[in-house]
Structures are given as C-alpha cells and as structure tokens.
Structure 1
Amino acid sequence: MVKKILLSLIALAISIAGVSLLVHFNSRKVAGDQIDHYISDYGISQKEIESEEYPMFNSLSAPKGFIKTIYVKNENNKDNYYIFHYDPSNKKITFSGVVDGNEVSINDKLIKKLKYQPSDKVLNQE
C-alpha cells in the first residue's frame, strides 16, 4: 500500500514537472518570436547579428519574462550591445542598451552611440 502511494506521488511529481516544462518552453517560443519581430521592427537585420544570448532559464534575480541580448557585427565598441526583454504579464517588449558598460533606456542620450538606432515604428510603440 505504501509503495503504491509513493509511486503515485512520484508519478504526480513527474507529471507536474513535465507540464511545467512544456508551459515554459511554449512561453519561451512565443517570447522569442515576439522579440525577433521587435528586433526586425527596431531595424537590425538578421545578417547583421554577430551573436545572441537567449538563456533557457533566467536567474532568480532577473525580471520576470524572457531576455535576449544581441551583439551586432562591426559595432564600434564591443562593450555595446542591445537587450530586449519580453514581459509575459503585459505581452510587451522593452529595449535597453549597454553603452560603454552602462545599461541605458531607449530615451537616454547615450543610445546614439549604438550602431543601430530605434526605428520610428519602435519609438511610437514606447
């Protein structure tokens, strides 16, 4: 009897973990598609992207949602890059950039130092 209860609890835990992972991966796919669309609207073409970081799981200290970091080819300063954050609660994407090691918002004057500037379409979404 105890073995049946233990096996049932283990099966339940595995099922819950499996469903949670499926939900996470589906949410990640939706977020990735939305971020890629936003990057296209921003004005960065796929062939100009040197590398990107899109972690499977964010750290516990990161804001809720999904973050994609983009490094572009021929950026004047390799310490400059683009960060796109998707918040699933309001389904919005926010942009920030890292310029000379400082994270700045889309409205900061330092954004002008980045190779690619936000398009009018992105600025009108803000």
Structure 2
Amino acid sequence: MVKKIVLSLIALVIIVVGASLLVHFNSRKVAEDKIDQYISDYGIPKKDIKSEEYPMFNSLSAPKGFTKTVYVKNENNKDNYYIFHYDPSSKKVNFSGVVEGSEVSIHDKLIKKLKYQPSDKVLNQD
C-alpha cells in the first residue's frame, strides 16, 4: 500500500515537471521566433552576428520573459551589444542596447554609437 502511494506521488511529480518543462520550452520557442523576427526587422544582418546568448532559464531576478543578447562582428567598441527581451504578457519584443558598458533604451541618443540603428519599422512599433 505504501509503495503504491509513493509510486503514485513519484509519477505525479514526473508528470507535473514534464508538463512544466514542455510549456517552458514551447514558450521559449515562441519567444525566440518573435525575437529573431524583431532582430530581422531591426536591421541586423544574420551574417554580421558574431554570437548570441539565449539562456535556457532566466535568473530569478530577471524580468519575466526571455532575453537574447546579440554581439555583432566589427563593432567599434567591444562593450557595445544589443539586448532583445520578449515579454509574454504583452507579446512584444523590447530592445535596449549596451553602449560603452551602459544599458540605454531605443530612444536614447547614445544608441547612435551602435553599428546598427533601429529601422523605421521597429521605431514605428513603439
């Protein structure tokens, strides 16, 4: 009797964890597709992307959603990079850039120091 209860609890835990992971990876895939479309709309050519960071799980202190960090080839300053954040509640991608080590918004004048500037399509989405 005790073995059945323990096995039932283990099975329940496995089902709940499996379902949670399935939902997470599906949400992550949707977010990555939306972020990739936004990057394309922004105007960063795929061939000029040096590397991307897209963590499997965000830290607990990070805002809800998914974040992709993009580093481009031949950027004038190595401390400059692009951050794209997908917010699942609003279903929107938000952009910020890191310029000379400081994070700035899309409307900040320091954005002009980045190699790629936001396209009109991206600017009109805000």
C-alpha distance in 1 between matches for 2:26 and 2:50: 26
1:82: which partner in 2?
82
SS in 2 for 1:117: coil
SS in 2 for 1:60: coil
2:29: which partner in 1?
29
2:104 aligned with 1:113? no
TM-score (norm 1): 0.99
Per-residue Cα deviation, 1:51-108 (whole angstroms, up to 9, x for no partner): 0000000000000000000000000001000000000011000000000000000010
Paired residue total = 126
1:17: which partner in 2?
17
Question: How is 1:90-105 mapped onto 2 (pairs within 5 angstroms)?
Answer: 90-105=90-105
C-alpha distance in 2 between matches for 1:105 and 1:79: 16
C-alpha distance in 1 between matches for 2:120 and 2:90: 22
C-alpha distance in 1 between matches for 2:93 and 2:33: 11
Per-residue Cα deviation, 1:10-66 (whole angstroms, up to 9, x for no partner): 100000000100100000000000000000000001101000000000000000000
C-alpha distance in 1 between matches for 2:118 and 2:86: 17
C-alpha distance in 2 between matches for 1:11 and 1:31: 30
Letter in 2 for 1:121: K
2:3: which partner in 1?
3
Uncovered stretches (5+) of structure 1, i.e. residues with no partner: none
C-alpha distance in 1 between matches for 2:119 and 2:6: 57
What percentage of aligned pairs have identical amino acids? 83
C-alpha distance in 2 between matches for 1:31 and 1:45: 19
2:68 aligned with 1:59? no
Shift of 1:2: 1.0
Uncovered stretches (5+) of structure 2, i.e. residues with no partner: none
1:42: which partner in 2?
42
